Structure formats: structure tokens, C-alpha cells
Chains A and B, each alone.
Chain A
Amino acid sequence: MSSALILSAIVLPLAGGGLLLASPGQAERNRRKYTMVITCLTTILVWLILLKGTSPAFTLYYFTRGFSVDFHVDGLSMVFAGMVSIMWPLVTLYAFDYMSHASHRNSFFGFFMMTYGITLALAFSASILTLYVFFEMLTLVTIPMVWHYRDHQSMYAARVYAVYLIGGAALGLIAVLLVTLGGGEGIFRYGGSLIGTPDRRLMCLVYFFGFFGFGCKAAVFPFYYWLPTASVAPTPVTALLHAVAVVNSGVFAVTRLTYYSIGPDLLRGSWVQYTAMTLASFGLLFSAVLALRERHFKRRLAYSTVSNLSYMLFGITLMSPDGLVGGVSHMVFHGIIKITLFLCAGAFMHMTGHEYIYEINGVGKRMPVTFGLFTIVSLSLIGVPLGCGFVSKLRLIYAGIGESSGVAVFGILCLIGAAFLSAMYTLTITVRAFFPIRGGDRYPSDGKLHEAGWRMLLPIGVFTAANVLLGMVPGPFMRLLDTIGAGLI
């Protein structure tokens, strides 16, 4: 039963998206209805799966020894699938308004839906080879959305995107193959899937390739360049894919590799752990500085994403249950935060046609709701209490302190520094919007500029509410993560 549910949740958006790609119909109303119905149905299916709880691995298709497509539902996949399944319908709703003037809408919504299916497949995959297959497919299916506008910039971005992500996955393949050869067929098991006494030196090398290969998608330093470049894509794509689904699938894959394939016990204290931790720590500070230097609204947010992804990688490379909880909680909470920030940025760009930060002066008076929510969420990003960013940063810092090695202390210092810089690069936007220097207001009150429509505001509002709610009452969710960290589900 649950296998049928999982399959239908994956196939439904894939098939639905494929049909939309092939269909010649251009009626806006029908397309909206169709897209919404399929997306919502998929979400309902996902929640049916999640409410049933965990289910063991089953093999969908057997190719040969060591290569089969397997799915399962465990704690980590529940968290990841639950997160994206709530975001997808809301962002689709947002996209209806945002894309209302764009061309090639069939292809956009078709690929958008297909990505949903592939992300779910990635979340539910039970072995590292299955994960790898969908990891590659995720790259391929998102490329058309990056070049959606078909101008010079988008084509360049798409090329960079493909080069980094496919190249990264190729590196990851080395790790995937060697882990699968290590026994256990690569089926995920908390604490490591390797059988017998694996060679520690070899496994460190394998982790090195795996970390940077899968880390490419999580924009680990020094492979971060593609993410800010890809922010030329339409905002729904940058918001949902390049701040949540795609980049978090990179983090997700690294988590799987670390905790469920090679095993933290094998890697803890090795050179590869310290390399990964140092690079993650350095990268998170580094990209925060770049974000501060950046003047383009969405690119600044993209650099901020790079920085926050490294927070997660830092937590995960701590190789302790606390680190896992910190990393995964930041994955979810940062997802909620950053998607809201991007949607606000998109609303601003959609309504004014501007995209640079110096063009924000005084827009707060005209779009108070958008920028009010933007402020609340950016405070949450910084780690101010009442927002959920505070909770995950607290857990990350706890985990780092618990480790008490020099590298962990370095990481915590970088984390604090980056959080400070994140205040600088987000709050300057707020201050510009609400408190322009006297006479510097760019948007006079002639009533031409107003708030975006309800389809754009509703997702922003819902995500902000989720943000504050999870920040005020994080208890139940954090208990779920603690169970995952303890290896119970």
C-alpha cells in the first residue's frame, strides 16, 4: 500500500508535468486549474504517506547486483518531503501571478511540476544509487527553468549551472560506487551501511569526493559560483529551487552520505572531517561578506543562501547526533526563511520592475505588508528570538560547543560573524525601504505603486506565520528531529 502511495506521489507530478509540456493548450485558466490540482493532489499523497509513518525499503526495479531503484520512508525523508510538499502549492500559486506576463508558460509550469516529483523521489530514495540517479535528474529538469528568459545572461547562467552541477555529480558518483561496493548494497542505515570492517583511509578519500561532489549542489566553498549566477531565473524558481529544493537536496545527499552510508563513527576525527568543517566554516563567513558587497537584490539573497547552506554543512560535518539535528533543523528553518525573502524580493521586482538595492529607497511606504514581513523574516534569519532561525542557530552552536575541538570553535566564531554580516546585508534593505534619507524617497505617493496581488501575498504571509510559529513553539518539531538524531526513525 505504502509503496503504491510513494510511487503515485512521484509519478503523478512527473506525468502531469510531461503532459503539460506536450500540450498545445494556451488557456491561462485551464493551465492554472490543471497545475494547481496536480500539485495539491501530490501534496495530499505526500501527507498520506507521512501520516502513515515510516515504512521499510522496497525495490521498485532491479537492474543488476548492486544497482536497483529502492524507496523507503524514514525520519529524514519525512522532514524533507514534508517541507517541500507544503512549499510547492504555495509557490505555484505565487508563480501564477509572477509569470502572468512571461512567455512559454506551459514549459515553465511543466518543468516546475516535474521537479516536484523528482524532489520527492530524492527524498524517498532508500539507497545511495537511487539517490544519485534522482540527484542528476534534478539538475537536468531544472536547467530549462534557468534559461527560461532565453536572453544572453540566462543562457550563460544555465551553462554555468549545468557545468557545476553535472561536474559535481560526477565527482559524487565515485563516492556512490565505492560505497555501494563496500557492501550492504548502499541501502541507507543510520550509523552507516558498510558491512564488515571498512578501510578507514579509503573511506576518508571516498568521503572527500562525496562531500565536494554532492556539496557542489549545496554550493560549498569553493563551488558556490553557480548559485548567485542562477538567480537570473524567474523568482519562483530562485525561491523554491535555488533556496530550498535543489540546494537542500545537496545538503540532504551529504547528510545521507555522512550519517547513513559511510557512518559518522568512521569519519569522526579524520583529516577529511576537519577539511570539510574548515571549508564550511570559512565559506559561510566568506559568502556573507560577498552578500554584503553585492548590490543586486536577488544575488545578495543568493549569496546569503550560500552562506546558510554552509551553516548546515558545518552542522552535518560535526558528525554527532547534535550536529545532525542542528544541520537538519537549519535546513528546514532556513528554507522557510529564505523562500519568504525571495518571494518578497520577487514581489518588489514584479511591481516596480527594479532589481537593485539602491532602488528600494522609500518603497516601504507603498508596499508596507511585503516589506514588513520581509523585516520580520530577515530578523529571523539573523537569529533574533521569536523567529525560527534563532532555534536552529542555537542548536548549531550547542552542537559546536559540545564538540569542543579547535575547528568547531573556529566554526562557531565564523557563524557569529556571518550572522552579524547577515544583519548588515538584510537590515540595510529594511532601513532603505522604511527610512529613506529625507528627500531620498524614490516612490512618490501618487498611488501607481501598490502591494502585489493576493496570490503573491498569501504565500509570503503563510511562510512568515510558519516562521514565527516555529520560532515560538519549536518543541514538537525539534523533538521529531531529536528522534532522528538518536537514530530511532
Chain B
Amino acid sequence: MILLIVFLPFLAAVLSYVAGKESETARDRFAAAATLIELLMTVLLLYWMPSEDIPLVFGSGLHFTADGFRCVYAIVTAFMWAFTTLFCGEYFAHEREGLNRYYFFVLMTLGATEGVMLSADLMTAFIFFEILSFTSFTWVIHERTPDAIRAGYTYLFIAVIGGLVLFMGLALLNETIHTLRFDQLRSAVAASDQHGRILAAGCCILFGFGCKAGMFPVHVWLPKAHPVAPSPGSALLSGILTKVGVYGILMTTLGALADNRSFGLIVLILGVITMALGAVLALFSVNLKRTLACSSMSQIGFILTGIGMYVLLTTAECEEGIVLALSGTMLHMLNHSLIKLTLFMAAGVVVMNLGVLTLDDIRGWGRKKWRLKIAFALGGLGISGVPGFNGYISKTLLHEGIVEGIHTIHSLSGLLHVVEWIFLISGGLTFAYMLKLFIAVFVQEHPTRQAQFDADVNYMNRTSTAVICGSSVLMAVLGQPGIMTRLASFMTGYEEILAFKAFTFANLKGGLISLAIGLAVYLWIVRRVLYKNGSYVNLWPAWLDLENAFYRPLLTRWLPGFFGTIVSVFGENRLLTPLCKGALAVGTFLGRLISIGPDTLVVLSRRTLFRERAAVRADQPSLGRVASFHEQIRQACAPLFGSFSFALMMTCIGVLIILGWVITYI
């Protein structure tokens, strides 16, 4: 069953490509049908939960399994694919170029993503992870604008370096504990005493999966790649592909690194930085999809913070906190996927109608478009953590996890207090930037084109409406604590979470503080500072960009510059030739010195014993012939004596002599 789920999309990809050569409508329908069938199959997985293997390939074989968390994520994946593929039909109505390729890679990525989500060992996860890295690249570069190409390269190279570091981490882990199966990791790590190596492997794995998740400092691709991809692709990139990275980090942490305190601290700190940085970037952005992308980064930070807290609480053996942190992490992953599905598809509706995304250009476009307005509002409410909607419960769980940590881990309570406040402020910023987007697109009026905007009533067809509104309803449904706690218990396997009460005062307090901060930020910062003379301004300094300020110069200028200097010395014979010439010169000089003795003898004897009696005529013809012959030989041999090989040969002879001496006398 799992094998079918994983490999059917690959087959469907090929079929859709073939179908697309014949008829475009047939292909669109086929692709949508394939994703719906996939969704059905993943739902069936719930009743089954099998484990399946393919032995022999890649040495150790591929292993798949399904448990609560994996099942839920397999369903979410298939669900998102089905909805975005349905939405594609209208989104690409006017932009037909390269669609065959697009569908082909969309279906391939579906298979690969299910492969990661249902994997039972790290090697399987890694293999499918690499496949999806490369197949999803085609979405980023789909539009082929200069921006898209640039973002595509960034995405690709970060994916590659992530894959390689991950690869190294896996090799290190496997060489240390001799297994990569998730269910055996914990016992194998407990039996090993090489904690340093395991931590190093963990950091490599964190970096590798973090590249895909959009973790600081390798987040640079995320705010650039998500906006340039076609909107259905952005929804998947943001909703699922980042989660693939998080999934890898979470699974490795649960298995191998759950009681490694330093690892927990690393994840926590990186998570907090990602969370705060993403929120600030989102607040400053004046582009609809870029804001959503930065928001994704920030939400990933929330999830990573949860993972970090989970590790710290495990080392402190605080059972209650573990349940809270783990449930919060998994639920927030789920929520964020669904929220971003709605929001990016809503942004897609804007793009396909207007073709622009800057807030000033699209201002007021949604004033009279109620279906879109409600869907976007539900998404915004969900992500901001307003009580009654889905984001509230997961954020509260994460927050309670941190609070629990403050009470139990005394040595870190100072740090955790700071973390708690950054958490609340980032939550507030989330509310602020969603408010900014909502008010800009759906409340304010466009200075010139408002009448034209309001007249546009056919802005999305029935399928798109069903898809977008259908997914947005989930925000409210999943906002019910009864449903959420059951889901959490199903995914984590902990029964204790069922007793969690979401609407007590203590739990509401955190959420309300966040919302208050958010409102204040919106009123005081967004409206006063970021909104001037009736237009939104981007106050983020352009040079403050990790990619342009550091990564790109490092690879394109600093490294080649450094190695280029070495090349100018070693390569192109600039070192070897002078070296050989020098050796020859020294040899000649030494030869001269040695020959001084015999020369002196010769000169002395010529002056004394063998004095020449008769004068020799200078123009003797025979001598002349010898001289010219000698000159000819000299000219013929000149290139030889000046050549590198001659020098090498002489060196070798010299070395041989020295060696002979060494052998004789050592």
C-alpha cells in the first residue's frame, strides 16, 4: 500500500507528460484525478498502518512505515496536492508555456514527499528528500524571469549544500551507531558512548534538513523563492516542502538526540532567531507573497522552538512539558501547512487577476470580493493565534511548553524567560503583518482604480472557490479543542494531552498578550512608520541581506580570488619553471666552482710545461667547420636545454645521486 502511494505518482508523472503531448485538458484532468486518488489511498492508510520494505536497492534497501504522525502528514500532503492541482486549472489558464513540465515535476514531487513522510529510516528519507529538492526546483524557476532564475539558483545551491551536509551527517551517524532506522536509533544511541560524534552528526543533519525548512542562517532562499514560483507551487513549497525539513529534524531528534542538551539549546536558539527574524522581515515587506513567505519562515521558527523545548524538557525529565512541547510542535506543523495552503492560493487569485503583488498596486482589490475576503480572513485569524481558530491551540501548547521549562529547568530559566518574550512578541508581529495585509487588500481603497476593481466580479471560477473556501473552513474546524487534542494524542501517542484545556485564563493570557502586542505594533509602527503619504514603503535596508552580503561574494569572488592567487603561482608553470631554472643555475654554478681546480691546473700547465711554440692561425678552416658544427648542435639543443622536461630530468638525476648517497651512508 505504501509502495503504491509512493511510486504511483512517479508513474502518473510520466503518463501525464505523455498525455500532455496529446491534449492539455486531458492532462489537467488526469493530474487532478491522480492527486485525488492519492488522497483516497492515504486516507485508507489510517485503517492499516503497515510497514513495507524494498530490499537490496541502495545497499540497505528502502524501508517505509506508517504511524499516527506519518499517516496524518501523508494525508495532509495528498490533501494539499489535490487542492493545489485543482486550483492550477484556473491559475494557469492564460500562461500555458512549460505546463507539461510543471505537471510532470509536481507529480514527481508528490511521490517523493510521500516517500519522505512515510520513511522508516533516515536513508530512505534522505533519498526521497534529494529527489524532491531537485524536482521542486523547477517550480521556482518556472517563470524564467531574471528574478526567478536568480532565486532558482539560490534555491538549488542551498538545496545541494543541504543535501551534502545531511549526507555527511548520515554517514557519520551510521558509522557511529551502525543503524539509521528511526525505531532503533534511541537504543543504539543509548548504547554508544561517543556523544561528541553523535552531536556532530546531529548538527549536520540539523543543517541539512534546516536548509529545506528555512532555518536561520540558511533561510536566504525562502523569501526569494516562494514569491517567484507560481502560486500553487508556492503553497506547496511553503506548506509542505518546508515541513519535509522539519519532519527530518523532528524524527532525528525524537530518535537520536532527545536527551542531548547541547543539541536542544542549538535548535532552540536557531529556532528563536528564525522566528523573530522571519516575523520582522514579514512586517517590513511590501509584497503580498513575500510577506507570506517570510511568515512561513517565522512559523518554522515557532516549530523549531517547540523541538528545542522538547529536547530540553526531555533532559529535565519533565513528562508534562514533553507532552505539551511535542503536541504543540506537531499541531503547529499541521496548522501551518493548512493555513499557508489557503493564504497562498488566495494570493494566487490576486496574481492571476492582476499580475502584480506589491501592496500599493493591489490595494482595495478585495473590498467587494466576499468569498476571497472570508477565506483570507480565516487564514489570517488562524495564523495569528486568535482564540477559537487553529493556530491558537498549537501556539498555546508551545507557549505552555516554554513556561513549563521555566519552572523545571532552573539553570536556564533566565534564557527561557527571554525566549518566552520573543515568542510572544513574534506572535504579536504575526498578528500585525496579517492585519497589514488584510487591511491593505481587503479594506483600504485604491486611490485610482477602485471602481475598476469593484466591477471585476468573475475573479475566480467555481472550482477555485470550492478549493480555497473549503480549505479555509478547516481553520475554524481545527480551532475546536476537542478535535485538536484528539489529533495531538493520535499523532504523538500520549493520552495525557486529551486533558488539556485551551480556554482557561492561564492559557488565554499568553495569546491575548500576543494579540495586544500585535495591535499595538500595527497601530504604532505599521501605520505610523511603514505607511507614508498613502503608500506602503519598504524601510528594510537593501544591503542587510545575508545572501548578497556574504554567501554570493564568498562563492563568486572570495573563494575564486583566493584560489586564483594560488593558481597564478602554481598553475601555468609560474612556480615550477623558475624552480627548475633555479636548480639548474645553482647546479651550473656549483659545477663551475668544482671545475676551478682542474681549470687552474690546465691553465698552469699550459703556461709552464706545454707552452705553445708556434702561433696558431685564427682563421684555420677545419677549426671553423668544427665551430659552425658546434654552433648547429647548440642551436638544435637549445630548446631541449631550456625545456621543463630537461630540468625535471636533471632534477631526477640529482635526486638519484642524493638517494644513492643516502642509501650508502644511512
A interacts with B: yes
Q: A residues near B, CB below 8 A?
A: 162-163, 166-167, 170-171, 173-174, 178, 199, 201-202, 205, 209, 221-222, 224-225, 286, 289-290, 292-293, 379, 382-386, 390-391, 393-394, 397-398, 401-402, 412, 416, 419-420, 423-424, 427-428, 431, 435-438, 472-475, 478
Could you list 15 examples of A-B contacts with CB < 8 Å? Answer: A163-B645, A201-B666, A205-B662, A289-B563, A293-B564, A383-B164, A386-B127, A398-B171, A416-B165, A420-B157, A427-B156, A431-B141, A431-B156, A473-B57, A474-B59
A174 to B153, CA, bound (A): 49
- Contact present for B168 and A416 (CB under 8 Å): yes
Contacts of A419 in B (CB 8 A): 164
Contacts of B163 in A (CB 8 A): 384
Known: A382-B164, A385-B131, A412-B168. 9 other contacts (CB 8 A): A166-B648, A174-B652, A222-B576, A289-B560, A384-B130, A390-B167, A424-B160, A435-B152, A437-B146
User: Which of A163, A382, A390, A402 sits near B644, CB closer than 8 Å?
Assistant: A163
User: Which of A222, A390, A398 sits near B570, CB closer than 8 Å?
Assistant: A222
Q: How far is the CB of B200 from chain A (nearest CB, A)?
A: 10
Q: How far is the CB of B94 from chain A (nearest CB, A)?
A: 16
Q: How far is the CB of A155 from chain B (nearest CB, A)?
A: 13
- Contact present for B645 and A423 (CB under 8 Å): no
A401 to B204, CA, bound (A): 14
Closest A residue, CB atoms, query B138 = A435
Closest A residue, CB atoms, query B150 = A437
Q: B residues near A, CB below 8 A?
A: 56-59, 126-127, 130-131, 134, 141, 144-146, 149, 152-153, 156-157, 160-161, 163-165, 167-168, 171-172, 174-175, 555, 559-560, 563-564, 566-567, 570-573, 575-576, 643-645, 648-649, 652, 655-656, 659, 662-663, 666
Q: How far is the CB of B108 from chain A (nearest CB, A)?
A: 12
Known A-B contacts A289-B563, A386-B127, A435-B141; A170 and B652 likewise in contact (beta carbons under 8 Å): yes
Closest B residue, CB atoms, query A432 = B149
Contacts of A174 in B (CB 8 A): 652, 655-656, 659
A427 to B250, CA, bound (A): 30
Q: How far is the CB of A174 from chain B (nearest CB, A)?
A: 6
SS of A interface (majority): helix
- Contact present for A428 and B560 (CB under 8 Å): no
- Contact present for A162 and B141 (CB under 8 Å): no
- Contact present for B134 and A379 (CB under 8 Å): yes
- Contact present for B160 and A205 (CB under 8 Å): no
Contacts of B58 in A (CB 8 A): 385, 472, 474
Closest A residue, CB atoms, query B140 = A435
Known A-B contacts A420-B157, A427-B160, A475-B56; A173 and B146 likewise in contact (beta carbons under 8 Å): no
A290 to B564, CA, bound (A): 8
User: Which of A199, A401, A423, A428 sits near B171, CB closer than 8 Å?
Assistant: A401
User: Which of B161, B167, B575, B648 sits near A170, CB closer than 8 Å?
Assistant: B648
Closest B residue, CB atoms, query A292 = B560
Contacts of A162 in B (CB 8 A): 645
Contacts of A438 in B (CB 8 A): 144-145
Contacts of A222 in B (CB 8 A): 570-571, 575-576
- Contact present for B175 and A423 (CB under 8 Å): no
A386 to B175, CA, bound (A): 21
Contacts of A402 in B (CB 8 A): 175
Question: Which 10 interchain pairs have the tightest Cβ spacing?
Answer: A167-B648, A423-B160, A222-B570, A385-B127, A289-B563, A397-B171, A163-B645, A401-B175, A170-B652, A163-B644
User: Which of B130, B573, B644, B648 sits near A171, CB closer than 8 Å?
Assistant: B648
- Contact present for A383 and B167 (CB under 8 Å): yes
Q: How far is the CB of B133 from chain A (nearest CB, A)?
A: 8
Contacts of B130 in A (CB 8 A): 384-386
A427 to B163, CA, bound (A): 15
A93 to B648, CA, bound (A): 39
Contacts of A171 in B (CB 8 A): 648, 652, 655
Q: How far is the CB of B571 from chain A (nearest CB, A)?
A: 5
Contacts of A397 in B (CB 8 A): 167-168, 171-172
Known A-B contacts A394-B171, A397-B171; A424 and B570 likewise in contact (beta carbons under 8 Å): no
Known A-B contacts A225-B571, A293-B560, A384-B134; A431 and B648 likewise in contact (beta carbons under 8 Å): no
A276 to B31, CA, bound (A): 55
A436 to B143, CA, bound (A): 10
Contacts of B645 in A (CB 8 A): 162-163, 166-167
A174 to B572, CA, bound (A): 26
Known A-B contacts A170-B648, A173-B652, A222-B575; A423 and B157 likewise in contact (beta carbons under 8 Å): yes
Closest A residue, CB atoms, query B123 = A385
Contacts of A382 in B (CB 8 A): 160, 164
Contacts of A390 in B (CB 8 A): 167
- Contact present for B559 and A289 (CB under 8 Å): yes
- Contact present for A428 and B131 (CB under 8 Å): no
- Contact present for B144 and A163 (CB under 8 Å): no
Contacts of A178 in B (CB 8 A): 659
A402 to B194, CA, bound (A): 13
Contacts of A292 in B (CB 8 A): 555, 560
Q: How far is the CB of B181 from chain A (nearest CB, A)?
A: 17
Closest A residue, CB atoms, query B133 = A384
- Contact present for B663 and A420 (CB under 8 Å): no
Closest B residue, CB atoms, query A402 = B175
Contacts of B652 in A (CB 8 A): 170-171, 173-174
Contacts of B559 in A (CB 8 A): 289
A398 to B176, CA, bound (A): 10
- Contact present for A435 and B168 (CB under 8 Å): no
A402 to B197, CA, bound (A): 12
Q: Which of A202, A391, A401, A475 is most buried by chain B, counting CB atoms within 10 A of its CB?
A: A401
Closest B residue, CB atoms, query A170 = B652
Q: How far is the CB of B128 from chain A (nearest CB, A)?
A: 9
A480 to B570, CA, bound (A): 39
Closest A residue, CB atoms, query B656 = A174
A224 to B575, CA, bound (A): 13
- Contact present for A478 and B160 (CB under 8 Å): no
Q: How far is the CB of B482 from chain A (nearest CB, A)?
A: 43
Contacts of B127 in A (CB 8 A): 385-386
Known A-B contacts A178-B659, A293-B560, A424-B157; A225 and B572 likewise in contact (beta carbons under 8 Å): yes
A420 to B144, CA, bound (A): 24
Closest A residue, CB atoms, query B648 = A167
A379 to B163, CA, bound (A): 12
Contacts of A173 in B (CB 8 A): 652
Closest A residue, CB atoms, query B60 = A475
Q: How far is the CB of A308 from chain B (nearest CB, A)?
A: 15
A394 to B166, CA, bound (A): 12
- Contact present for B149 and A437 (CB under 8 Å): yes
A289 to B157, CA, bound (A): 15
Contacts of B172 in A (CB 8 A): 397, 401
Closest B residue, CB atoms, query A181 = B663
Closest B residue, CB atoms, query A387 = B130
Contacts of B662 in A (CB 8 A): 202, 205
A167 to B566, CA, bound (A): 22
A391 to B563, CA, bound (A): 29
User: Which of B144, B167, B175, B576 sits near A435, CB closer than 8 Å?
Assistant: B144
Known A-B contacts A401-B175, A437-B144; A225 and B573 likewise in contact (beta carbons under 8 Å): yes
- Contact present for B175 and A163 (CB under 8 Å): no
Closest A residue, CB atoms, query B57 = A472
Q: How far is the CB of B170 from chain A (nearest CB, A)?
A: 9
A431 to B142, CA, bound (A): 11
Contacts of A383 in B (CB 8 A): 164, 167
Known A-B contacts A420-B160, A431-B153; A386 and B59 likewise in contact (beta carbons under 8 Å): no
- Contact present for B146 and A424 (CB under 8 Å): no
Contacts of A394 in B (CB 8 A): 167, 171
Closest A residue, CB atoms, query B649 = A170
Q: How far is the CB of B284 from chain A (nearest CB, A)?
A: 28
Known A-B contacts A398-B175, A416-B168; A423 and B156 likewise in contact (beta carbons under 8 Å): yes
Contacts of B145 in A (CB 8 A): 437-438
Closest A residue, CB atoms, query B645 = A163
- Contact present for B126 and A475 (CB under 8 Å): no
Closest B residue, CB atoms, query A379 = B134
